[in-house]
Amino acid sequence: MTEPSRGDDSPPASAQRSKRTLMLVVGICILANFIILALSISRKSSQPSQLPKAGGATDSDFMLEDERAAFAKYAGSPSCETCHGEQFKQWKKSNHALAERLVSSEPDKSAFDPPKVFQHASQSSGASWTNGQGLVTTVGLSGKPEAHAASRVIGNDPLRQFLVAAPRGRFQALEATWDPHSNQWFNVYGNEDRKPGEWGHWTGRGMNWNYMCASCHNTRLRRNYDEASDSYKTTMAEMSVSCESCHGPLKAHNEWQQQFGKSGKKDPTLAKLTRNQVLDNCGYCHARRADLTGDFKPGDAFSDRCDLVTVDRSETYYADGQVRGENYEYGSFLSSKMHHQGVHCLDCHNPHSGKTILPGNFLCLRCHNGSVTNAPAIDPTAHSHHKVFGNQSLATATNLVDLMAYRPKEIQQKGGECVNCHMPQTAYMQRHWRHDHGFTIPDPLLTKEFGIPNACNRCHEDKDTDWALKACQEWYGQKMERPTRRRALVIARAQSGSPQVRGELLELLGKEEIPYWKAALVGLLGPWAGRPDVTSALTNALADTNALVRTMAARTLEGALFAPGVSNALFHRLAVIWSSTSKTMPTNPAARCNWQFGASLAMTWPVPWLISKQRPSGTRTPPQFSRNWQWSIVR
C-alpha cells in the first residue's frame, strides 16, 4: 500500500519497518545476554563514602550501599540539639520534623474523640478513639465498611493523612484526612467516589505508602521490595525529614566534635554542599519526577538520580509553565527567570523552619529595591495598580510596619502582594494551597486564546477575561508583548497538536537561555525528530552544558534513531563520558558489562526504554546496574 503524502510540516510516519524489526530482534538478544551476565556477577557492597563531589558521580556512587552500613553512619536528630539548640528548636516544630510520626493521644486524639462521621460522594466514613488508638471506619477491599487502626500520620499542616498497616509489609494512606484548622474530616479526593479494586482507592497501589509516600516523609529510606512475594520490608535511618535528610549522615561529625571540638581544627567529617547541591536536595522531594536509583542522599545531583517531568504535550503543565497537575515546586522553579538569575531556595526560605525569612512583599523587596544587579527596582503600588498594605512608595516600604507585629493573613488588601500575581496558588488534596514557583507573569491573552489561567481572574472571579485583558493593556501596554508570551503561544499550539509550529519551536530553541525551557522545546520537537533540521538541533543539544537538556535530547532522538548520524552521535556522547570518567573501558565486571551493553543499545534500542525507571512495585533490580547508557549521555 502506498504511504499517503504529507505536508512539509506534518510529523513524518514510521519508516524502514523491516530494519526496525531486525534491530528489535538484535536488541532482545543483547538484552538476554546482558541479563544472564548480570545475574552471574556476584554482588559486592560499595565502601562507605562521604558526600559525592560536586564534579560528578562515579560507578561506586550508583551501587546500592549495604543498608546496615549506611544506617550506621546516622546519629539521629536529637544528637544535634546540644550544640545547635536554636536550629533544632525551629526544626522540631516544622512540617519537615512532623512529616511522619506515630499516632499518639497528643495531638491526635481530638481527631477521633468524640466519634465523628462524614459523607463523601456516595460513601460515608467515621473516626473514633477506642482502647487508646484511633480507628477509621471506611469502605475496604471487601466493599463494606471496615474498621482500621491508624498507626502513623504523614503530613502536619494544613492536613494530616493516616496510615494503616496492610499485609506483606505494606502501609496504606487513607483517603479520610484530618484538617487541624477546621477540625474536620474530609476525603482527600473530594467527591471522586473511588471504589475498592481501583488503583487510586486507598487500598490500591496508588495509595501505597512504601512506594508513593515513604521516601519523602523519612530519612534515607529503603523500600526493600521483594518481587517474588510482592512484599516490602521498608526501613529508614530515621522517621520524618530529619536533620540528616539535608546535612547527610553525622555520626562521624558527632564523634569528631566530642574528641576534637575544642581544638580549633577544621572538622574533616563535614562536606559543605554547594548552592546547587542544596537546590537538588530540596528538589528530590519537591519535584514531580521518577526516582531512578532509589537512594538519593544529600550531595547527589538530581539529574543523576531522577527524571524530571517538564512542560510537554500533556496537561501536566500549562504552556506558560504554570502548574496544572500536582507538580510541586522544583520544576517550576527551574523554569523561572528568578532561578536563572541565580536565586536558590535558601535565599527566601529558612532551612530549619521551612518558612520564608521575611513576610509578604518585604521578602521580595530585599532584592527588588534597586540594590541588586539584574533585579529591577519595583514599587509595589505603582507596579500592581493595587493598594498595598504599609506601602506608599518604594523608598518607605520597609519603614512603615513593625515586622514583629506584621500579620499578612489578616491583611485585606491582597491585590498588591507580589506572590498573588506572580506565585498564584492552587489547591491540592482539597485543602492544601500551594504557591506556583514559576514566577510567571499574568497574561489574560493566554486565557482568552488557550484557557491558560491568569492571576487577575483568579482573584476577580466576578469579572471576565476581556475585563482583565483591557486592564493589562491599559496599565502595561507594549510591555505585555514579551518573549514569554510568544513562547507560551507557540507551546500552546504545539500542545493542541498544530503541525505548523516546527519552525517556531526551532527558532525559540535557538534563542532560549533558560535550560528548563530549552529542554521543554527539545521535547516538543519530537514529532519532527526525523527531519534533518530538527535532527541537527537535537544532536547539537546532546552536547548542551545542562543535564536536563541532554536528557531530553537523548529521549527525543528515539524518533530519529535511524536517521543519518544519530546513532553515532549518541555513541560518541557515551564514549566521551566514559573516557572522561575512567580513561579506559571500566575494569569492574559490572561497569564493563554496562559499558558494553549501553554501547550496543545506543545503536539499536529506543531511548525511553533505556531510561532507568523504578519497578511498578517500587524497586530496581539488581541495584549495582543502576547506571544506564542514557545516564551517561546526561552527565
Q: Which of 15-24, 427-436, 437-446 has the lowest mean pLDDT?
A: 15-24
Q: Write down the pTM of the prediction.
A: 0.84
Residue 553 is assigned to a structural domain of this protein = yes
Q: Which of 279-288, 383-392, 497-506 has the lowest mean pLDDT?
A: 383-392
pLDDT at 136: 98
131's grid cell: 482502647
Q: How confident is the model at residue 415 (pLDDT cuts 50, 70, 90)?
A: confident
Domain boundary among 479, 499, 534: 479
Same-domain status, 475 and 369:
no
Cα–Cα distance measured from residue 599 to residue 417, given in angstroms and rounded to the nearest whole number:
54
Same-domain status, 323 and 387:
yes
Same-domain status, 497 and 616:
yes
Whether the Cβ atoms of residue 467 and residue 195 lie closer than 8 Å to each other: no
Same-domain status, 397 and 313:
yes
pLDDT at 38: 39
Mean pLDDT of 200-226: 97
The angle formed by the CA atoms of residues 456, 461 and 466, to the nearest 5 degrees, is 60
pLDDT at 401: 55
Same-domain status, 327 and 295:
yes
Same-domain status, 447 and 429:
no
Q: Which residues pair with 119 in a beta bridge?
A: 124
Same-domain status, 429 and 534:
no
Cα–Cα distance measured from residue 108 to residue 92, given in angstroms and rounded to the nearest whole number:
17
Cα dihedral value 142, 144, 150, 155, nearest 10: 90
Residue 590 has pLDDT above 70, yes or no: no
Q: What's the number of domains the chain is made of?
A: 4
Same-domain status, 531 and 471:
no
Q: How confident is the model at residue 621 (pLDDT cuts 50, 70, 90)?
A: very low
Residue 57 is assigned to a structural domain of this protein = no
Half-sphere CA count of 423, side-chain side, radius 13 A = 18
Residue 614 is assigned to a structural domain of this protein = yes
Tens digit of pLDDT for each residue in 134-164? 999 999 999 999 999 999 999 999 999 999 9
Mean pLDDT of 479-490: 97
Same-domain status, 430 and 367:
yes
Residue 88: Cβ within 10 Å count: 18
pLDDT at 373: 86
Collapsing DSSP states into helix, strand and coil, what is residue 312? coil
Cα–Cα distance measured from residue 73 to residue 402, given in angstroms and rounded to the nearest whole number:
45
Residue 318: Cβ within 10 Å count: 22
Collapsing DSSP states into helix, strand and coil, what is residue 393? coil
Same-domain status, 283 and 424:
yes
Q: How confident is the model at residue 60 (pLDDT cuts 50, 70, 90)?
A: low
pLDDT at 61: 59
Element (H, E) at 274: none
Mean pLDDT of 34-56: 39
Whether the Cβ atoms of residue 278 and residue 325 lie closer than 8 Å to each other: no
End-to-end Cα, the chain, rounded Å: 44
pLDDT at 205: 97
pLDDT at 12: 53
Residue 502 has pLDDT above 70, yes or no: yes
By residue range, what is the domain housing residue 414? 278-437
Cα–Cα distance measured from residue 231 to residue 617, given in angstroms and rounded to the nearest whole number:
9
317's grid cell: 503543565
SS3 content of the chain, % helix, strand, coil (to 5): 40, 15, 45
